[in-house]
Structures are given as structure tokens and as C-alpha cells.
A and B are shown apart, each in its own frame.
Chain A
Amino acid sequence: MVVVRSVTMADLPGLLALVKGAGIGLTTLPDNPALLESRIAASIASQAGTAERADEQWLFVMEDIENARIVGVCGVAGFVGLRDPWYSYRVGTVVHASRELGIFTRTPTLFLSNDHTGATELCSLLLDATYRVGRNGALLSKSRFLFLAEFRQRFARKVIAELRGVSDASGHSPFWESLGRHFFSMDFAEADYLTGIGKKSFVAELMPKHPLYSSFLSPEAQAVIGETHELTRPARRLLEQEGFRFEGHVDIFDAGPALECELDDIDAVKKSSRAVVAGIVDDDADASSAPSLVANTSIQDFRVGLGRLRLDGEAVHISTSLAAALRVNVGDAVRIVALSPADRSGADARAREASTATARAS
């Protein structure tokens, strides 16, 4: 059984081993022990409530309980860009038109922006390759939504997630080659590493400040603006199912998309609910029900697992192993939501369809 839980300092060796196998593109988790240690420390300070708001960040690890092994990691940054500026390119359009000359040219542009300053960021998602099976990926990524739902007053209204852009097997990003390289004579991997160790704003300060005409970039670079790396496409689909959308902001280095959603509009946040553990049973409480995310309500030792539940009003029965993984007993509060949006409360789904229909009609 796997559980997603708040990180502790004891996880450092396991975390380091995990990121060593990851390769380029995981900007926020560089292969750097000192930096990982400081990330863990910052997370612990946030759990304890001793971090300043601008520094709040939360790291969660996925543990294979039987093997006592760290197999995944994910994170949430409370408010980005309040210490160092947060940069992204906004994809825009400039029209050059002359009725007299019969000219109408639509030119895509890139504007350097700090638009996402103060947003909450989903970050640092990484799952060991051998564990990319079953529902592990969904559990790891979506566990954070229960955290956001449980502690929503700690987060911004807007939630973003930057997804890895397109690069080839050797780590060459066509966007970087066509743009960043001209302004900063280093490889994408190095820029990415500097970003990960907290120097992104330094790198950004070397990047072009004026709006760019995308048509001046190579065709290969133009083609990957807002495109997701092949390996990250499942993560993108997963976020999109929860309501996240690409609203035209891309990473300044690899042009990977930033997906956005209002916190209260995230489907898993909206549909999650509190329940009380009414009973602990040997097996899945109701093997016929859809798998659900279940989380405890502790900010210091937050834990999320998957189980099939029997929910009766606000009373829920969960399995012994899940209760152990979550460290909950009968009488404790939990937060639950069906793992798949399709399995979530029918009433809400109907409401959603109705509101979509209204939106279309208006």
C-alpha cells in the first residue's frame, strides 16, 4: 500500500535517490542535497506555522509502506513570486491590418509577465518509473487537492501548475535553442538547474524584457509554445479533468504551459467533503464503490490514501490498512472525494452540466 504524506527530515536520503533518477526538466527538484534539505526544512516550518507566508511551501512524499521506500513526491507553493519575481510569457496576438493595402496579419507575441505573482502553485511532481502503474499517479497528483480543500484559507484564489515543455531525449529544448540561448550562453539543463536552486529570477533578468514576435523564432520553437512534454501529457490530462485550463501563460525557458484554475473551481476541491470514521473493517468497506481519495485533517502530518468506502451520510467505514496509513481512528474526521471526476456526486455533476449549458447559452 502507498500513502502520500507530509515530508519529514528522515525522508532526505529517499528523496535524493528518487530525484537522481529523474533527469532534466524537473525544475523544482534539482539533484542537490543541500537544496532538497532546505526544501524539506521549509515544508516542516510551514507545517509548524513558523514560516512566513511568502515562504510557505508544502512537500509531500509517496511512501510504499511495506518496503518503507520513497517512490514519489509532490508539492504546493503557497504564494509564488513574493520573494523573487515570478516570470512567465503571456502568449498574445498583435494584428497588423490595413484595409487599403488589403493586409491583415495576425502575429503571435510573447510578453514577459509577472501575472501569476501571488498564485498558489502545484509543483515538484515526480513518481518513480516503476510505480507509474494503476492509480498511483492520480493519487499522488490529486492528494494535494484534499490539502487545498482542507486548508483553503492558507492558499490563493488562483492555483497554477507549470508543466514540463517539449525537449528531446538529450534535454535540448527547441524553444530554448531559438530564444534563451541567444541571451544566455548556456544549455537548457544548466538554466533549468539554476532555476531549481532558486535562481530563476536571476536567469530571467537576462532574458528579453520587450515583447517578442513569435514569428522570429524557429519553426520548431514556435511549434512547442504551450505544448507539454510527452511524458507529462498524462499529468496534463489529469489536471484538465479537474478543471485546469491553459490560459496562455508559458514557461520562459521551455515554453511549457502553465495551467490555471480558481481554487474553488477545482473539481476535487469543490466535490470533496468532510466525514467521520464510523468504523474500521478488514477489507475495502464496499468493494463495489469507486475508489476515493481519503485524507486525514492534520496539517502537521497530512496523509492521503486510496480506498473503496461505504459512506452513510457523514459516517464512513474504511479498511484497517487505510486507517493505519492515515493514522486515523474511529471518531476522527477525514476528507474524501472520488478519485475520478466521473464518479463524483451526481447532483454536483448535474449542476455542473447545467451551469455549462447556461454558459454556452449566454
Chain B
Amino acid sequence: MIATPNSMFVLRPAEMADLPQIETIAARSAIGITSLPPDQQRLIEKISSSRYAFSSEVDIPGEETYFFVLENTSTGEIIGTSGIAASAGFHDRFYSYRNEIIVHASQELRVSNKIHALHLCHDLTGFSLLTSFYIDPQFAESAMPQLLSRARLLYIAEHRRRFADKLAAENPGVCDAEGRSPFWDAVGRRFFNMEYPQAEQLSGGRSKTFIAELMPQYPIYVPLLPPAAQLAIGQLHPDGELPFSILIDEGFEPDIYIDIFDGGPTVEARVDTLRSIRQQRRLPARVYTSSQTEGAMKPNDGNATMLQALVSNTRADRFRATLATVRIAGDEAHIEADVAAAIDVADGEALRVVALEIAPGAD
């Protein structure tokens, strides 16, 4: 179970053969990761539509959903999942509440009040969505979450036409031990009169739009909500801390949009502003065998840099990414043969590489 020195972890598109393991993960994942439903039929659909997306020629983002798994190649064990939906609310609308400040001012009365309001909006419709993040808790402290989350950005960097210029990601909002969301209780429940999981179940796994159309369409004045609901606005569920912090470090903006059901923060950013996108490079691979390594992969070369890096191939379908030591020398990326094999890159082929440690000052 625990990674041995020889273990290699590779991110790749999910295959139907992964279904049993994915089902186990879905059963374990917290309420709120709606993109990973504990339902075999829906998981089968998710994998097959992902297979279709990866293997299709795509010119503009549409209804494709990409679903990745992170595999320990020495054991075949899947330790995490992540995904991308090419176009949020494709064929329909994607609903969020937008935080707004309405200034109520009167010069005459010398009063100026800033009122916080939530505005139901479709702003994020058509954004590409980062979804389905799950990591085996044993690996939470490792670099694997970085690989799981950010390798998606390498895929997006290579295949820009498949995705929108803007990305968003939903994050779970706060709820108590019984799964009760104070935000839902104050807002959605008034219009549904049922628990959120029940409403979601009733909607039969159809898009959230179906439910959203029953939600209040007029702006909600936050001061009118009970204190617990006010506090839940934009508040992250502790289970969502890890993937959230990775996105925040990338430069995602957390303060504008919230989920219409549980009030969790929905982060968003322009692809071009993300640190991994700006700092990644597309370079030809130079593959070293063990014997060559003695000479070539040494760090103490004035013109070369040794990096702990996320590295991926540039294929649309047979995408592979892993975490490895990469030597950047001039305009070449030097990698070991086992890394090249893991990500399926031949000597001279292009790869994408970005440092594991994001350099905040570099952009």
C-alpha cells in the first residue's frame, strides 16, 4: 500500500477496467463530490463518456468530460481521481450565486450602507470545470495531490482547443455531522422543503440545472439570512481544503462565486493566468538509460537545472503524467528511461514539464 522506492505513480485516462476500484472510491468520498456518484451505472457512463472524449477529435469545447485516475504502476492500485468537464452547463445553463455589494447611499441623509447580496447568475456557463478530485487520505501529505490536480493543467496546456479560456472548480461547502447544510436550510429548503441529498437524488443525477430552476431567481439579501447561513457563504468544507489550496496556489479566485446549494466557494480563473500554465514548458525529451545517467543527469552543470517536476506526454488520447526528476538543459528535458516509459515518451518527442514547487515570484 505504501509507496516503495520503486513505485511510480502515473496519471492516465480512466479505463473501464478501473470500474471496481473507482466504485470503491466513490463509496468512500464525502457527500458533496457530486461528480463522483456512488452509483455503478453512472460511473460506467462517466468512464465511457470520458473514453469517448479522450479519443475524439475536438475543435471546440462541448459536452466532453475527461476523467483521470492516478495509478501506482507497481501495484495497479488507483489512489486518486480527477476530471475536467469541457464546458460547464453545456446545452444548458450553469448556475452560481455571485457575491455582490449593493451600495445603498443617500447624500441627503449622510448614510452609505454596503449590502451583501447573492445574485443567481449564469456567468460560469461555458467555463471548463475541474471536477472529481479524490485522493486516498494516505497520500494527502505527499506530492500526489499536486500531480492529480495540476497534471490536468498540462493536458489543458497541450490541448487548448478542447477547453475554454476560463476554468472554474466547485468546492464543497460546510455542513454538520449529519450532512445538514446551513446554507441549504436557509435558502434551498424554503423552495424544496426537503434535505439537499434528497433533492439531488430526486433529480435523478440529471444536471444541477434541473434543480437550479426551482431556486430563488431574485437576488438574496444576505443580512436577511440566519447567522449560520451567512457564515456558510463561501465557506469551505474541511474535506475540501487540500484540492482548494492547490487551486488557490495556482491563482484561482475564490471570492466571487458560490455554489447555489451549499454555499461552498466556486473558484475561477483565466487559463493563461494560472501559474502552472505560465511556468510549464513544452520541450523535446532526451531519454537517458541508467548507464548514461552517470554522466548526463548530474545537477552540477552550469547550464542545466535539476527539477522535481510534473511531466507529461503530449498525446490527446494516451495521456500520461507523472512526478519525476527532470534535468532542463538548454531547450531539452532530460528524463530517465523508466520515466519515459511511464509517460510513454520516446527520445526526441515533445513533453510538458512544470516544477513541482510553484515559483510565486516568477509570474
A residues adjacent to B (C-beta < 8 A): 94, 96-98, 101-103, 105, 107, 109, 178-179, 182-185, 194, 199, 202-203, 205-213, 215-217
Contacts and interface: CB of A to CB of B under 8 A. Distances in A.
A207 B108 contact: no
B190 interface: yes
Given A107-B216, A182-B223, A184-B113, 14 more contacts: A101-B192, A101-B199, A101-B211, A101-B214, A105-B192, A183-B104, A183-B113, A183-B115, A184-B104, A185-B113, A203-B109, A205-B106, A215-B190, A217-B224
Contact of A205 (B104, B186, B191, B202): B104
Tell me the dominant secondary structure on chain B's binding face: mixed
Most buried by B among A101, A179, A194: A101
B190 A107 contact: yes
B111 interface: yes
Contacts of A96: 191, 214-216
B221 interface: yes
A202 B108 contact: yes
Contacts of A205: 104-106
B292 interface: no
A207 B104 contact: yes
A182 B111 contact: no
Contacts of A206: 104-106, 109, 111, 113
B224 A182 contact: yes
Interface string B102-129: 1011101101010101000000000000
Interface residues of B, number: 32
A340 B193 CA distance: 49
Interface string B210-252: 1101111111110111000000000000000000000000000
A109 B190 CA distance: 13
B7 interface: no
Given A182-B223, A203-B109, A210-B117, A98 B214 contact: yes
A205 B104 CA distance: 7
6 contacts: A107-B191, A184-B111, A208-B221, A210-B219, A213-B220, A216-B224
B115 A199 contact: no
Most buried by A among B202, B203, B224: B224
A185 B224 CA distance: 14
Contacts of B193: 103, 105
Given A203-B109, A206-B111, A103 B214 contact: yes
B207 to A, nearest CB: 13
Contact of A216 (B108, B199, B213, B221): B221
A174 to B, nearest CB: 14
Nearest to A101: B202
B9 to A, nearest CB: 42
A208 B113 CA distance: 11
Nearest 10 interchain pairs by C-beta: A182-B223, A206-B104, A216-B224, A210-B219, A211-B218, A96-B214, A202-B106, A202-B108, A96-B191, A215-B190
A105 B221 contact: no
A94 B131 CA distance: 34
Contacts of B106: 202-203, 205-206
A217 B108 CA distance: 28
B38 to A, nearest CB: 21
Given A96-B214, A182-B223, A216-B221, A194 B104 contact: no
A238 to B, nearest CB: 35
A178 B226 CA distance: 11
B152 to A, nearest CB: 33
Nearest to B206: A100
B156 to A, nearest CB: 35
B190 A182 contact: no
A183 B214 CA distance: 27
B223 A183 contact: yes
Most buried by A among B191, B192, B193: B191
